A and B are shown apart, each in its own frame.
Chain A
Amino acid sequence: MATKPEKVEAVDTICALSTALGRSALAVIRLSGPGSLFVLQKMTGRKEFHPRRATYEVLRDRDDSVLDEAVVTYYPAPNSFTGEDMVEISCHGNPIIVEGILNEIVSRETRLAEPGEFSQRAFVNGKLGLQQLESLDWILNSRSPAGFRRGLRAKLEGLGAPLKEIEAGLMEVLGDIQSQLDFPEYEVGRFDKTKLISGLRSFKTKLEASLGSYTRALRTFNSWKVVIIGPPNSGKSSLFNRLLGYQRSIVFNQAGTTRDLVEDYLSFEAMDLVLVDTAGIREANEAIEALGIEKTLASLKEANVICWLTDTGVAPPGKLMELHADKNWLVISSKQDSGAPFLEGSLGVSAHTGEGLDDLRKLLKPLDQAEKSDELGICSERQRVHLEAAIAHLEKAAADIESDVYLEIAAESLGLAKKELELILGEIPNDDIIRSILSRFCIGK
């Protein structure tokens, strides 16, 4: 057996541009690793840096040419984001300058970071927990305020307290059952079956509410899709263009002009929408139009909001509404500036004058619901899977106790439920978690 002591690989120094690449007032470059300070010293010619104090410096390359002027901050380990020595450089936000600085840095035994490597290092060094790592995804990539608020809440508060409360409740129930099994001679307070079952079901209800809030939140993570449909020539493309603010779709005074789906992003109030213009729905005249109509109908499956546009006061077809009853429907009467009929209960707009468009925007704002504070802000598919499993085990346990199955079998299900909660919290070592972390190390985020 090999007995030679294992050498732990020395950590190298990494750097990356932390702000978006592009022209802007400022760009932030970060370094992490044991060589960070050395690089900074070389580029500034200064030896001493006050920990965590921003200082103005002129950065030069090894030929002493000026790269840029910048504000630099040195964070000695372990009091930094990654837990390693770190340097943060705020320079001018010109990609040419940024490239020059990065080139100089990587020439000094530093390499460009893999995607997500800073947060991985923070995790390995115990600066970020598993849940916090998972919540970063929501904070950085959410397309809606509700989405990143959820991420932020999960990062700041974690799932800890509310989930631990449920876990503690489960522990108590489990403890009662275990002592029935291990110390039957003591018969401590012979347990009350009905109370036990209702307790388990109340844990289950709480977890289910959290699962529901996650499903709702997922819709706020991705951009909402708003599909505009209606009879041909009802003014869909005009409205589409007016909302986007430019002539994206061809508008022509002939029914059946739009044949394919036309999509574009629309940002307002810190939120991204995907707006979709479609072919008008009618008995098609030619094969190609029929294909377009087919596509329109198919696109409804993906929609979050369906806008039915009419310039003749016709309500959306009942069959279609029935088929997509789970979507948010908006019924709009178009061309209100030119005396088109108004459908009772609809929203009147005019793409030409802009009438009613503010009201439409308000209605388009997705359900940006505030979460109830007692719901768990779970933030990843991994957590969802464990939550669902916990709910299933709890139900099984309650049902088993109800039908007087062997007590140790109910205990088994309860133990499994508890284990799932611990997995969400990252409280027990688990092969899957380790794998998922390792896979991040392989391919980056």
Chain B
Amino acid sequence: MNFDVIVVGAGHAGVEAARAASQMGCQVLLLTMNADQIAAMSCNPAIGGLSKSQIAKEIDILGGWMARVADESAYQYRVLNERKGPAVQATRVQVDRHEYRQIMKFRVENQSGLLLKQAQVARLLFEGSKIKGIETSIGQKFFARQIIITTGTFMNGKAHIGRQSFASGRAGEPPSLGLSDFLKTLGIKISRFKTGTVPRVDARSVDFSRMERQESQTSCAPLSIFSEKLRPDLRAAYLAYTNPKTHETIRASLDQSPLYSGIIESRGPRYCPSVEDKIVRFADKDRHQLFLEREGRWTNEVYVGGVSTSLPYDCQLEFLRTIEGLESVEIIRPGYAIEYDYIDATQLLPSLEMKEVPGLYFAGQVNGTSGYEEAGAQGLMAGINSGLKNFEKEPLILKRSEAYIGVLIDDLVSKTTNEPYRMLSSRAEWRLLLREDNAEQRLYSYAKRNKLLSLSDEQKIEAVLDEREKLHSKIKLTRVLPSQVINSRLAAVGQNELKSGISVHELLKRPGFELPEIEMLVPLLFAEHAQQDWKRVMSDVKYEGYIRQCESQLKQMERLERLKIPLGFNFSALKALPIEAREKLTQIRPATLGQAGRISGITPASISVLAIHLSKASDKGACVNE
């Protein structure tokens, strides 16, 4: 059978890739080893969180399903960093993982141009050096010029619980064997990472009354711009804490942990440490927070967040039972660690296409990342770019200043990661520009140009953009006069009192003036617009000066980005560069001077040398005057 694009793996990356390519008009085949496990949440049942909700919203604007399905299957909402500014605030949606999976599956099955099949890919098919299709383990052959690999942790996956280990892609499911060996024969560099997950316990064995109850937020915005409102049936989560007894128990069994007994040597994610790691690395802390989240409405399984572990089953049970409220807990599924093959993403172009194998894309955890959002974002971009390639168009490369997705992919293809890559706001040098509340401003034009959205979705976004603009002009026109209320508020934040009238826009710029103050001062205007629109406009105003500063810096940086390095530039002939720099540049082959500068180990001096040679090589002679 012939297709335009074949996606191998139907996890968070795979479904977004398949959706994007089919939405663009490609004939797409999506292959999964288990059709019941589409977009399965192997770890925590949640979408969003710090720096991740930004990604989920970016995916949303570019037509992806992640945020919508999270809203449709939501179990609890939380807004994180609420007391900090809008650029670092984030929405976290805990979801019913079974509903999430089910809804995703239903969407996949009903997407036009997309065919789902259960099969395991054994090898890729070539015609000369050109990729042509795939062959499954039972000998089926499917043909396409674009193949996207999104195998997550399944390639040569090996799970560990204590000293026991077994081949596995995810607990209870077989790994994908053979594919990574095949990829190695193509000269693709493959290494191993490890990650882990927490035990799931029986809700009936947990005494929730002795834990801190955390209600869902009910007044926040849904994750997706297309969701009208929050589900009404939201539930609570619970907080618990480890104690010195817990730590002692864990410390006593460290020799049975595959992480500490030398069985697992692969690197794990520093920002999502196992409980063993936490005890060892933060030895001075006498307690760690746990959060208990029910995995769905139709199950008693409870996810014990914060205690990712690969200790033997007995030890897991023993340390859990030292925790208040878990004294008689029963484990349904033990936590485990998993080692898997990933590819070094510096072998990829910024379009996520393999440099050496045109037509072959990699996206998701297989590229060494961690997190559903990071995976989904890559899947989406690989899907879009395979679609663009199918129609012989230039790839879509988002800039670091445009999207967290841009930061993510630029980091992946420029820097070799030595631990699973997790997004953090501090990785985004332009994070004041990359907010949860302005994804539509940043990315809608790309969605429209590449036909990633339905007409009705486009109209919805345009309406939001319109409202925002309207409100912006209204707050500039509406003036408030000095009053007792304003001046006492100003005094409270140490500012001079008002002598004459001031626009709402000017007032919003001042610290201490947020939406409650505005509501009090101009209640009629406030009521004319939705809370969401006010929030968006407020954050535009609060950051105004900084955004201008960012933009002027950006202009400077972009001059470096505009200095293109010709394809096939011979770095190894540049004897003035240190050997290490020559090797790195030859391996990664940056497209611009800007990208070259972000490669770890390339010094500014090397960049200067490169700039000098590039400008000498260019027709204009030795000067790069504009």
| A431–B616 touching, CB < 8 Å | no
Query: Which of A5-13, A45-53, A194-202, A254-262 contacts the other chain?
Result: A5-13
Instruction: Flag if B51 contacts A182 (CB, 8 Å).
Output: yes
How far is B178's CA from A25's CA once the two chains are assembled, in angstroms?
79
Q: CB within 8 Å of A: which of B597-626? A: 597, 604-605, 607-609, 611-613, 615-617, 622-624
* List of A residues within 8 angstroms of B425 by Cβ: 178, 181-182, 408
> Contact between A408 and B560 (Cβ–Cβ < 8 Å)?
no
Q: Is the CB of A126 within 8 A of B578?
A: yes
Contact A408 B604, beta carbon cutoff 8 Å: no
Tell me if A185 counts as interface (CB < 8 A to partner B). Answer: yes
Question: Is B593 among interface residues, defined by CB-CB distance under 8 A?
Answer: yes
Do residues A442 and B616 form an inter-chain contact, with CB atoms below 8 A? no
Most central of A9, A412, A435 by chain B CB within 10 Å: A412
Contacts of B549 in A (CB 8 A): 412, 416
A403 engages B612 (CB within 8 Å): no
**A64 proximal to B (CB < 8 A):** no
Taking CB atoms, residues of chain A closer than 8 Å to B87 are 406, 408
Q: Which of B559, B573, B605 contacts A130 (CB 8 A)?
A: B605
Give the A-B contact count at a CB cut-off of 8 A.
138
Q: Say which size band chain B's interface belongs to.
A: 35 or more
- Contact at B569–A5, with CB atoms within 8 Å? yes
A181 near B576: Cβ-Cβ < 8 Å: no
Contact with B along A427-439 (1 / 0, CB 8 A): 1111111110111
A284 within 8 Å of B (CB atoms): no
CB < 8 Å neighbour of B567 from A1, A130, A434, A435: A1
A178–B615 alpha-carbon span in the complex (Å): 38
Q: A178-B426, A432-B556 are in contact. Are A9 and B611 (CB under 8 A)?
A: no
List chain A residues, Cβ under 8 A from B542: 406
Chain B hits for A125, CB < 8 A: 576
Chain A CB within 8 A of B424 CB = yes
CA distance A181 to B574 in the complex (A): 42
What's the tally of chain A residues with a CB closer than 8 Å to chain B?
48
B211 CB to closest chain A CB (Å) equals 16
> Would A184 and B494 be within 8 Å (CB), given that A408-B88, A427-B604 are in contact?
no
User: Knowing A124-B609, A427-B604 touch, does A442 contact B573 (C-beta < 8 A)?
Assistant: no
Tell which of B78-86, B136-144, B186-194, B348-356 binds the partner.
B78-86
A415 and B429 in contact, given A9-B617, A130-B605, A403-B494 (Cβ under 8 angstroms): yes
- Pick from A7, A408, A435, A437: contact of B431, CB under 8 Å: A408
CB distance A407 to B85 under 8 Å?
Answer: yes
Q: Which of B80, B546, B567, B575 contacts A2 (CB 8 A)?
A: B567
Q: How far is the CA of A295 from the CA of B161 in the complex (A)?
A: 91
User: CB within 8 Å of B: which of A36-76?
Assistant: none
Query: Within 8 Å CB of B616, what residues of A?
Result: 9
Contacts of B271 in A (CB 8 A): 183
- A444–B613 CA distance with the chains assembled, in angstroms: 17
| In contact, A8 and B593 (Cβ under 8 angstroms) | no
Interface set, chain B 482-529, CB cutoff 8 A to A: 493-494, 511
Is B35 among interface residues, defined by CB-CB distance under 8 A? no
Structural contact, B546 and A409, CB atoms closer than 8 A: yes
Query: In chain B, what residue has the closest Cβ to A187?
Result: B289
B511 in contact with A428 (CB, 8 Å) = no
| A8-B615 contact, Cβ under 8 Å, with A404-B511, A412-B432, A426-B604 | no
Interface string of A1-44 (1 = CB under 8 A from B): 11111111100000000000000000000000000000000000
A441 at the B interface (CB under 8 A): yes
User: Which residues of B are found within 8 Å of A169, using beta-carbon distances?
Assistant: none
For residue B597, which residue of chain A has the nearest CB? A429
Docked complex Cα distance between A218 and B569 (Å):
44
Pairwise interchain contact B432-A408, C-beta atoms closer than 8 A = yes
The verdict on A129 contacting chain B, using a C-beta distance below 8 Å, is: yes
Q: Mark B45-66, 1 if CB is under 8 A from A, else 0.
A: 0000011000000000000000
Other-chain residue from A3, A126, A403, A412 in contact with B605 (beta carbon distance below 8 A):
A126
Q: Which 4 A-B pairs have the closest CB atoms?
A: A406-B85, A429-B607, A429-B597, A429-B604
**11 A-B pairs (CB sep. < 8 Å):** A6-B569, A8-B613, A180-B84, A182-B51, A184-B84, A407-B85, A408-B88, A429-B597, A433-B608, A437-B611, A441-B612
A8-B574, A412-B432, A442-B623 known; 5 other A-B pairs, CB under 8 Å?
A: A124-B612, A178-B424, A181-B50, A405-B511, A434-B560
